[in-house]
Amino acid sequence: DIVLTQSPALAVSLGQTATISCKTDQNVDYYGNSYIHWYQQKPGQQPKLLIYLASNLASGIPARFSGRGSGTDFTLTIDPVETDDTATYYCQQSRNLWTFGGGTKLELK
Amino acid sequence: EVQLVESGGGLVQPGRSMKLSCAASGFTFSSFPMAWVRQAPTKGLEWVASISFDGRNTYYRDSVKGRFTISRDNAKSSLYLQMDSLRSEDTSTYYCAKDDGYNNYFDWWGQGVMVTVSS
């Protein structure tokens, strides 16, 4: 199984930049694509797709969200952070079956 | 608009069975793979099982192999998860998710259904 590692929590001030990392224990690139996707989950709600294939913004997602990375190191950036962004963020790989990272809880300072 | 509505959850004793259903609408169900993802209370997301668009191919996480069966009825636009020999560690909210069909990310999710395994 491919293991994805995320930091458990991050605190950022309103209007600042949040950078959430996701590291995989195996390369998730294949034929020019990185099979890493990002989801946002607010308390009591289902997850919502934010970014697919490492850097592509999902439909309806604000441009404040962006993703980058390749190989085994990936980041989700929120710039600037708004109040509504307090949530838990998960990375997921689909290179070999499916696994999720443990999630990063974003809080406001 | 895509809608995924799960049903069939509740309280069940260890060792017993339960079947979850997911009613899909707003897209051509028969054209897309589907999946079940679960989340134990206060824990993270965990992929459970996936099924190809035509139902011919199924995939499971190791901890549920031989106990859970994913299936679909394309004529009814419905996805199912038959859960047998349930254990306390299967206690979770179970989400039905639509696979994009090409890069295998989950672009739509249901609201989830709670399954509690307890005596």
Tokens of A45: 């709600």
Chain B residue closest in CA terms to A30: B103
Considering only CB atoms, A46 lies closest to which of B61, B62, B95, namely: B95
Percent of chain A with pLDDT over 70: 100
Query: How much is the average pLDDT of A26-48?
Result: 97
- Name the residue among B50, B59, B109 with its Cβ closest to that of A47: B109
Average pLDDT (A97-104) is: 98
Amino acid B102: pLDDT: 95
Which residues of chain B fall short of a pLDDT of 50?
none
Torsion of CA B94, B59, A73, A35, to 10 degrees: -100
Which residues of chain A make contact with B112, given a CB cutoff of 8 A? Answer: 46
Flag if A39 and B45 touch (Cβ within 8 Å). Answer: yes
pLDDT at A38: 98
Q: Does A33 contact B at CB distance below 8 Å?
A: yes
